[in-house]
């Protein structure tokens, strides 16, 4: 990878953080249009993306970012209120920024789909129209250029700023001579202009804090014949008319601090607790409580200027580094091998009787504790909050609401919940399907909601949290709920169940996960083709999780997803079957027992059921299910594991012996063996043997029994 490609990859990585900041700021602005900090953060994110895009010649991204900036600048100056249509325009612009960054990152030519996508041109027109209403529309210069008009230089006077040609000895501070106001020296570097930045908006932003006395320093300007077009010669001396904090000034120049020389000191050299110091611009200035100096990035200095404790005493922000995910995965694999080696050593010492030595036992205990802690810490590296995922879903809700003509608001809770990175990546499609279903099928039209006494605006709530070693996510809407009679009628019509079948409410809900099932009468852009919920269940099951539905007619529907906290370690029950050791995941295990003669009933020549608490539960032999033996004729006295499938059905698995419960390190089989039906993965035991981790749902399918049909037959 060349140096330019490496820098470009770093830019797109930084864009991920900036886009996340942009989404956060948009949400804050929607809650409080007067939140100037959120508006400024939003402006800085867009401005930073534009600057980086300009450095790499990403013209489409630069053009759109510039238009977006104009609108945000009007909002910052209180010329436009971020409410109603303007707020929706901001969200649309934010979504388009995501699209542009993604297309540039994938090396797609954005001009092609921009020409075909009328929405892009309409969005730019809407932004331009909003800016034109305030007189802030910079398209006029382009039009003038096209008409051959040559503009004349014009001096612009901003509120609070004196004319740049004011006499050097003009005291516009109104008698502040001798006080201890800040004296700011601002000298842009060449890189500031290369990245598409402009000193004027920075000075204008600073003027919103207080009146300014601004003087341009032309001493560095060489004769015209010696000027180089791409060099930076100008600097400015800025004196605030009123006192303002260093933190406020630092915030203005924060996103260009690496591309300028910035000196900040107090004007009164006689102030004992704030001595004035003339800083050397060729060196990086370290902030200190005595001078309250800002951190300055010198030319060519690679050291970062952020994160230094300033005059306010605030702690520097936590630092982080970007690490290739493959390196983390290799490290996790090594930690897994360490855990396995520790278990093997422990078992070997136990079998050899060495545990009687207190020193050996203590050392092994410490090794086990350190290995366990190391494993937890390494797994935490892959853990990421679901915040980015929730932000992506906000756009899905907006687009689905617009497509259906419904007013929908997304409320999120538990954004700080951390899950494995792989889970976040693979949850995007299932959550998209569920949200679209919630809006298309669940949320009613505004007119229908008014008649029902509800708010015209529907609500979808997404929550995430940790519970009992699982990650629980819920998508709940306040719509019309699920009509069980309509679902059952549709299922009978499609031949999924017999007309005589008597299904429970939960079994009816499970019909929604059947491939090709849909209650929609008409096909729309969002639903109606019967593709969606079956994909949801398949994807969740592949992650080792389960999905369930609960609904109240007229009040809403809740879809619950439970997932393992990590994909690298699973807690399971070790069992022995036909001489083989298998692992049954504890997430599916509900209880263990021994089969007694009075509980076992035979239906037909092969099918066995277990009568338990008034319910008949189908019985499978684990050994027969994996092809190790035939179904035992007599299961009386055999250990039984009661497990629950992802569809919510209880089944009983008979085994020869239960060995105990423990955490095991997952070893995938797909790369070497492909898909092994009935087996999810493998692990290495303490004695070095391989144990297979079973897949409860596929075991039921291998037994040749459709669980819904079996339940209907048993209860008939």
What are the residue ranges spanned by the domains of the chain? 3-146, 159-311, 325-381, 386-564, 569-715
Count of CA atoms in the C-beta half-sphere (13 A) of 669: 18
Predicted confidence at residue 293, as pLDDT, reads 35
Predicted confidence at residue 557, as pLDDT, reads 93
Question: How sure is the predictor about 575, in pLDDT bands with cuts at 50, 70 and 90?
Answer: very high
Whether residue 261 contacts residue 234, with contact meaning beta carbons closer than 8 Å, is answered with no
What stretches of 438-554 show up as alpha helix (H) in DSSP? 446-451, 484-493, 505-510, 533-542
Q: Is the pLDDT of residue 15 over 70?
A: yes
Q: Which residue has the higher pLDDT, 487 or 120?
A: 487
Q: Is the pLDDT of residue 558 over 90?
A: yes
**Distance, CA of 433 to CA of 423 (rounded, Å):** 16
Q: Who's near 434: CB < 8 A, 6+ residues apart?
A: 475, 533, 536, 559
Q: Is the pLDDT of residue 714 over 80?
A: no
What are the DSSP calls for 605-658, one per residue? TTEEEEEETTEEEEEEEHHHHTTSSPPPS--TT-EEEEEE-TTS-EEEEE-SEE
Q: Is the pLDDT of residue 458 over 90?
A: yes
Q: Is the pLDDT of residue 592 over 80?
A: yes
Residue 359 phi/psi, 5-degree rounding, is -65, -45
Residues 501, 506, 512, 515, Cα dihedral to 10°? -70
**Distance, CA of 689 to CA of 540 (rounded, Å):** 29
Predicted confidence at residue 343, as pLDDT, reads 76
Predicted confidence at residue 235, as pLDDT, reads 92
**Distance, CA of 479 to CA of 494 (rounded, Å):** 26
Q: Is the pLDDT of residue 153 over 60?
A: no
**Distance, CA of 436 to CA of 380 (rounded, Å):** 32
- Lowest-confidence segment of 270-279, 316-325, 326-335, 505-514 by average pLDDT: 270-279
Predicted confidence at residue 145, as pLDDT, reads 39
Whether residue 419 contacts residue 563, with contact meaning beta carbons closer than 8 Å, is answered with yes
What digits encode the pLDDT tens for the residues 282-298? 333 333 333 333 333 33
- Lowest-confidence segment of 84-93, 400-409, 602-611 by average pLDDT: 602-611
Percent of the chain whose pLDDT exceeds 70:
76
Predicted confidence at residue 384, as pLDDT, reads 82
Q: Is the pLDDT of residue 392 over 90?
A: no
Predicted confidence at residue 389, as pLDDT, reads 87
C-alpha distance from residue 364 to each of 96, 541, 660 (Å): 57, 37, 21
DSSP structural state of residue 459: E
Query: Which class does domain 3-146 fall in?
Result: mainly alpha
Q: Which residue has the higher pLDDT, 404 or 598?
A: 404
Q: Which residue has the higher pLDDT, 598 or 61?
A: 61
Query: Once rounded to an integer, what is the mean pLDDT over residues 459-484?
Result: 87
- The residues that bridge with 611 in the sheet, in sequence order, are 616
Domain 386-564 matching CATH 3.30.565.10: the answer reads yes
| pLDDT, mean over the chain | 76
Predicted confidence at residue 459, as pLDDT, reads 93
* Burial of 467 per CB tally in 10 Å (0-12, 13-18, 19+): exposed
Predicted confidence at residue 648, as pLDDT, reads 67
What is the crossing angle of helices 59-76 and 85-105, to 10°? 150
Neighbour-count burial for 436-452, b at 16+ CB within 10 Å, e otherwise: bbbbbbbbbebeebeee
Domain 569-715 matching CATH 1.20.1260.10: the answer reads no
Q: Is the pLDDT of residue 584 over 60?
A: yes
Q: Is the pLDDT of residue 708 over 50?
A: no
Question: How sure is the predictor about 559, in pLDDT bands with cuts at 50, 70 and 90?
Answer: very high
Predicted confidence at residue 526, as pLDDT, reads 55
Q: Is the pLDDT of residue 204 over 80?
A: yes
Predicted confidence at residue 150, as pLDDT, reads 43
Predicted confidence at residue 151, as pLDDT, reads 45
Predicted confidence at residue 160, as pLDDT, reads 44
């Amino acid at each position: 990878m060349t140096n330019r490609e490496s820098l470009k990859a770093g830019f797109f990585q930084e864009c991920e953080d900036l886009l996340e900041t942009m989404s956060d700021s948009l949400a804050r602005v929607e809650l409080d249009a007067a939140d100037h900090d959120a508006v400024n953060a939003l402006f800085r994110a867009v401005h930073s993306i534009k600057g980086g895009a300009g450095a790499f010649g990403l013209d489409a991204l630069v053009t759109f970012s510039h238009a977006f900036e104009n609108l945000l600048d009007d909002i910052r100056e209180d010329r436009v209120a971020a409410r109603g249509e303007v707020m929706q325009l901001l969200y649309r612009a934010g979504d388009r920024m995501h699209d542009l960054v993604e297309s540039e990152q994938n090396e797609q030519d954005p001009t092609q789909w921009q020409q075909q996508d009328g929405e892009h041109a309409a969005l730019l027109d809407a932004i331009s129209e909003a800016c034109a209403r305030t007189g802030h529309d910079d398209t006029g210069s382009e039009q003038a250029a096209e008409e051959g008009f040559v503009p004349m230089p014009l001096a612009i006077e901003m509120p609070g700023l004196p004319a740049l040609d004011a006499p050097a000895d003009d005291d516009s501070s109104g008698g502040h001579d001798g006080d201890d106001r800040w004296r700011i020296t601002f000298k842009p570097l060449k890189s500031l202009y290369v990245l598409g930045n402009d000193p004027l908006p920075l000075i204008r932003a600073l003027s919103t804090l207080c009146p300014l006395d601004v003087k341009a320093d032309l001493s560095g300007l060489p004769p015209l014949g010696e000027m180089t077009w791409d060099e930076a010669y100008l600097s400015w001396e800025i004196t605030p008319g009123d006192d303002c904090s260093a933190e406020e000034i630092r915030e203005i120049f924060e996103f260009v601090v690496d591309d300028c020389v910035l000196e900040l000191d107090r004007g009164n050299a006689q102030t004992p607790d704030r001595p004035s110091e003339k800083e050397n611009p060729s060196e990086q200035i370290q902030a200190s409580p005595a001078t309250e100096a800002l951190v300055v990035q010198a030319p060519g200095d690679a050291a970062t200027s952020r994160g230094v404790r300033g005059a306010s005493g605030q702690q520097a922000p936590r630092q982080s580094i970007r690490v290739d995910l493959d390196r983390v995965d290799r490290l996790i694999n090594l930690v897994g091998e360490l855990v396995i080696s520790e278990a093997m050593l422990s078992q070997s010492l136990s079998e050899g009787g060495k545990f009687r030595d207190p020193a050996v036992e203590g050392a092994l205990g410490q090794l086990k504790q350190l290995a366990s802690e190391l494993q937890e810490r390494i797994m935490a590296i892959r853990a990421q909050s679901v915040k980015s995922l929730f932000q992506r879903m906000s756009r899905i809700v907006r687009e689905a609401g617009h497509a259906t003509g419904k007013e929908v608001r997304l409320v999120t809770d538990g954004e700080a919940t951390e899950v494995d990175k792989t889970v976040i990546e693979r949850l995007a499609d299932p959550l998209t399907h569920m949200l679209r279903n919630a809006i298309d099928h669940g949320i009613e039209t505004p007119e229908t909601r008014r008649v029902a006494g509800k708010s015209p605006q529907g609500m979808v709530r997404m929550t995430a949290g940790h519970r009992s070693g699982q990650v629980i996510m819920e998508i709940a809407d306040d719509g019309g709920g699920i009509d069980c009679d309509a679902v059952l009628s549709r299922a009978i019509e499609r031949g999924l169940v017999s007309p005589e079948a008597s299904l429970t409410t939960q079994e009816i809900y499970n019909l929604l996960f059947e491939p090709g099932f849909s209650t929609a009468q008409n096909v729309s852009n969002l639903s109606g083709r019967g593709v969606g919920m079956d994909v949801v269940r398949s994807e969740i099951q592949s992650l080792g999780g389960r999905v369930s539905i609960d609904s109240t007619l007229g009040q809403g529907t809740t879809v619950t997803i439970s997932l393992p906290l990590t994909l690298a370690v699973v807690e399971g029950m070790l069992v022995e079957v036909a001489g083989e050791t298998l692992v049954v995941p504890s997430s599916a295990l509900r209880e263990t027992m021994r089969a007694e003669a009075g509980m076992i009933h035979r239906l037909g020549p092969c099918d066995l059921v277990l009568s338990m608490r008034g319910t008949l539960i189908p019985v499978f032999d684990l050994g027969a299910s994996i092809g190790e033996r035939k179904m035992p004729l007599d299961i009386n006295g055999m250990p039984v594991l009661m497990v629950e499938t992802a569809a919510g059905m209880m089944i009983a698995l008979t085994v020869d012996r239960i060995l105990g419960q423990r955490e095991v390190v997952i070893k995938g089989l797909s790369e070497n063996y492909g898909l092994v039906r009935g087996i999810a993965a493998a692990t290495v035991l303490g004695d070095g043997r391989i144990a297979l981790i079973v897949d409860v749902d596929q075991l039921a399918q291998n037994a040749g029994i459709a669980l819904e049909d079996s339940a209907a037959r048993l209860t008939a």
